[in-house]
Chains A and B, each alone.
Chain A
Amino acid sequence: MRLLPWTIYLSLAGAMLSLAAGRRSAAAARWVALGTAAAAWGLVLAAATGFSPSALPQTLVDLDWIPSMGGRYHLAADGISMTLLVLTGLAATAGILFSWNIGERTGEFFAFYLTLIAGVYGVFLSADALLFFVFYELAIVPKYFLIAIWGSTNREYGAMKLALYSFAGSALVLAGLLWAYATGGAHSFALADLASAAARFPAGQQVAMFALVFFGFAVLAGLFPFHTWAPTGHVAAPTGASMLLAGVVMKLGAYGCLRVAMPLFPAGLAFWQPAIAWLAIIGILYAGLVALVQDDCKFVIGYSSVSHMGFVMLGLAAANPRAVAGAVLQMFSHGVIAGLLFAVVGRMVYDRTHTRRLGDLRLLALYRLLPFAATVFVIAGLASMGFPGFSGFPAELSILMGAWQASPLWAAAAALGVLIAAAFTLRVVQLTFFGGSGSRETPAASAALPPISWPERTGALLLIGAAVVIGLKPDLLLNWIVPSLQSPLFKAVIKGGAP
Chain B
Amino acid sequence: MEASGISLRNDVFETYLSVKFELLKHLKRRRLLIIAALAIIVPLIFYVRVPDTASQFADEVLTFANLLIVVSAAMFAGDAVCSEFERKTNLLLFPTPQRRGTIFAGKYLAAVIATFVVVVLYYIVLTLQTAQLFGWGAIPGELAKSFLVAMIYSLAAVSVVYFFSAALKRSISSTIVGFLSLIMVLPVISFILQRVNQEPWFIITYSAGLITNVLGVSGNPLFGPGNGQSSLTEFMPKFGVGIAVMIAYAVVFLVSGMMIASRRED
- The answer to whether A and B belong to the same complex is no
B positions within 8 Å CB-CB of A: none
